[in-house]
Structure 1
Amino acid sequence: MNILVTGGAGFIGSHLVRTLQAAGEQVTVLDNFSTGLLANLPAATKVIEMDVNSPELATVFDAGHFDAVVHLAGQTTVHISMENPSLDGEENVIGSIHVLEQARRHGVQRVIFASTAASYGDVAEDRLPIVESEPLAPMSFYGLSKVTVEHYLHLYQQAFGLGYVVLRFANVYGERQGDGGEGGVISIFAKRLAEGKGLTIYGDGQQTRDFIYAGDVAAGIHAALTTEHVNHTYNLSTQSETSLNELVEILGKVAGRTICPTYQAARPGDIYKSLLANGRARRSLGWEPRVGLQEGLRRTYEYFCHQQAHAE
């Protein structure tokens, strides 16, 4: 399969590219390198430096003859979306429309879209774990931008026959993660621990997340590229809830030290509890998460320790 991965030099993209290449797929990465890094990718990867809002995007599709597009490019940080909604709209909504328009004009068979748990908003505890049919009520412009693109995908399919799969990610973490994004708390914490610094929790620490390892997300995306159950939405999650206080405790075990975090006021737009059901993805994609939290945290912490050692 000939696949274009937008935002492929980013954190999740770097895991996906390795998964696709290992499966023998032909991969082209398109990235503007605003947050992605060339060093994140294997040396032989075909890379095009371009923004999805570039007028030259059509030339990439003209030459590429892609069977499928995995659309990961976009602004991924909640607090940035609250500070600058127009940037979020430009990068996530308008950029996505450009990708969809080129995909339908050039006969792409399927678009895999990276959506988010933030689409659901702050769901009542008695509604957890959240299933895909839960009404969408985003609390941030980031979540709203993802929901908007989901609607565009549905209408593009109805109007033009463009196949799609929407994947709503839980909080993704792992090696090569930057300080932004929804799962960024783990990368921030792991990096600070590797540097011998303290940790700060925004809120009371009882807020929970469904943390999923990036390698498991990459496997889910690969499954979405080949599934017969297309034009649907799937959660990719562990269906396991972890509080930030519990996260710090597990990180302490991984790092071999006792951690006493400081606490500051919660930030606007942050969801208090998040837990996604993954039964639909297990049934229809033949997928399941395989890397437990402690093992994933060990890999992530060791990566940042390695980075810190090279920086010194």
Structure 2
Amino acid sequence: MNLLILGGTGFIGSKLTRNLLGQGYHIRIMDRTIKPMDINSLKLELIEADYTKVQDFKPFLQDIDIVFHFISTTVPATSNIDKIFDINTNVCSTLRLLEDMRQTNVKKIIFLSSGGTIYGHSNMDAIPEEHPTNPICSYGIQKLTIEKYLYYYYHEYGIDYQIIRLSNPYGKGQNGKNGQGAIPIFIRKISQNEEIQIWGDGLTTRDYIYIDDVVHALSLLPQYNGRHKILNLGSGQGSTLIDIIKVISDELNKTPKIKFLDPRSIDVKTNVLDITKFTYALHWKPEISLRDGIKLMLE
């Protein structure tokens, strides 16, 4: 089977590439910057191209069976700054991709959506896929818009799809330098005795999942032909920012410096995903706890 991974040299994509090559898949990566990956395989093809500037995806789609779409040009914290850019570079680029998939008869796309922003506010302890979708930031809106177009192309043209609503991945190889990833940011700041800034009271609760669990889950999808088109992917467990800081501080034996700021309008109070469907449909479950994941990052 031939797979195209858009964003295949990134945090998630590079680790998934290694896993899938080990399973015998042929992988074609398209990314804006091809970073050194220390992989020598005749089954790996690397293409350097800016996803947002590609007007014709057809050359990249030749002989491809499934597309993994991991590219996003924005992050939740900054997406509201330029909403037009957010839509143009994410939604419009994905529409060009879908049109070219239709013309080249690519049968399926696996899209990495956002379990953390799609749902908006919720009072539920664990959010199922059927929960109303009312995102409160541009990032969540563009992800939801792409989800709707995937259904449209499935309904109209028969292009199969899988939407993975991912929670908050973390792990080795994540540096947090783009402002995304509370855990790597906190590790860096506590290690260097720098001040941590927290918007709100620190009790904001999120679902954090270690990268190895994410990759294992995603690696099962090329063989999945079940009925579920939308699946949550997370740990199914909630942790507050204070919880994370305490674990890191304990492991480093350091006292954190924390500054509490006014809460942000883009942040929901609690977001923990119900992962029951993924667990049963793909016979998968997360294996690495928050503390063990942080220990792995600190090694």
Same fold flag (TM > 0.5): yes
What residue number does 1:255 align with?
252
Kept after mapping to 2: 8 A contact 1:78/1:270: no
Kept after mapping to 1: 8 A contact 2:75/2:180: no
1:166 aligns with 2:167: no
What residue number does 1:98 align with?
96
What residue number does 1:60 align with?
60
What residue number does 2:226 align with?
229
What residue number does 2:46 align with?
47
What residue number does 1:218 align with?
215
Distance between the aligned counterparts of 2:56 and 2:38, measured in 1?
Answer: 25
Kept after mapping to 2: 8 A contact 1:240/1:275: yes
Give the direction of change, closer, same or farther, for the CA distance of 1:180–1:85 in structure 2 (3 Å limit).
farther
Distance between the aligned counterparts of 1:256 and 1:170, measured in 2?
Answer: 28
Q: Per the alignment, in what secondary structure is the counterpart of residue 297 of structure 2?
A: helix
What residue number does 2:114 align with?
116
Instruction: Give unmatched runs, 5+ long, in structure 2.
Output: none
Matching residue's letter, 2:108? R
Cα distance per residue 1:156-198 (max 9 Å; x no partner): 1111111111000011111222436796111211222343423
TM-score by length of 2: 0.92
Report matched runs for 1:271-282 at 5 Å: 271-282=268-279
Identity %: 28
1:269 aligns with 2:266: yes
Report matched runs for 1:264-303 at 5 Å: 264-302=261-299
Give the direction of change, closer, same or farther, for the CA distance of 1:236–1:140 in structure 2 (3 Å limit).
same
Q: Per the alignment, in what secondary structure is the counterpart of residue 262 of structure 1?
A: strand
Kept after mapping to 2: 8 A contact 1:16/1:215: no
Kept after mapping to 1: 8 A contact 2:194/2:257: no
TM-score by length of 1: 0.88
1:80 aligns with 2:95: no
CA deviation after TM superposition for structure 1 residue 31, in Å: 0.8
What residue number does 1:129 align with?
126
CA deviation after TM superposition for structure 1 residue 222, in Å: 1.5
Kept after mapping to 2: 8 A contact 1:78/1:182: no
Counterpart selection for 2:235 from 226, 238, 254: 238
Matching residue's letter, 2:149? Y
Instruction: Give unmatched runs, 5+ long, in structure 1.
Output: 303-312
Kept after mapping to 1: 8 A contact 2:5/2:13: yes
Matching residue's letter, 1:122? H
Report matched runs for 1:136-215 at 5 Å: 136-179=133-176, 184-215=181-212
Distance between the aligned counterparts of 2:286 and 2:12, measured in 1?
Answer: 15
What residue number does 2:35 align with?
38
Cα distance per residue 1:50-86 (max 9 Å; x no partner): 1223124222123xx1111100011241121111111
Q: Per the alignment, in what secondary structure is the counterpart of residue 290 of structure 1?
A: coil
Matching residue's letter, 2:287? R
Instruction: Give the structure with the larger helix fraction.
Output: 1
Q: Per the alignment, in what secondary structure is the counterpart of residue 206 of structure 1?
A: coil
Kept after mapping to 1: 8 A contact 2:72/2:90: yes
Report matched runs for 1:2-21 at 5 Å: 2-21=2-21
Kept after mapping to 2: 8 A contact 1:172/1:182: no
Matching residue's letter, 1:147? L
What residue number does 1:305 align with?
none
CA deviation after TM superposition for structure 1 residue 96, in Å: 1.4
Q: Per the alignment, in what secondary structure is the counterpart of residue 270 of structure 2?
A: coil
| Matched length | 294
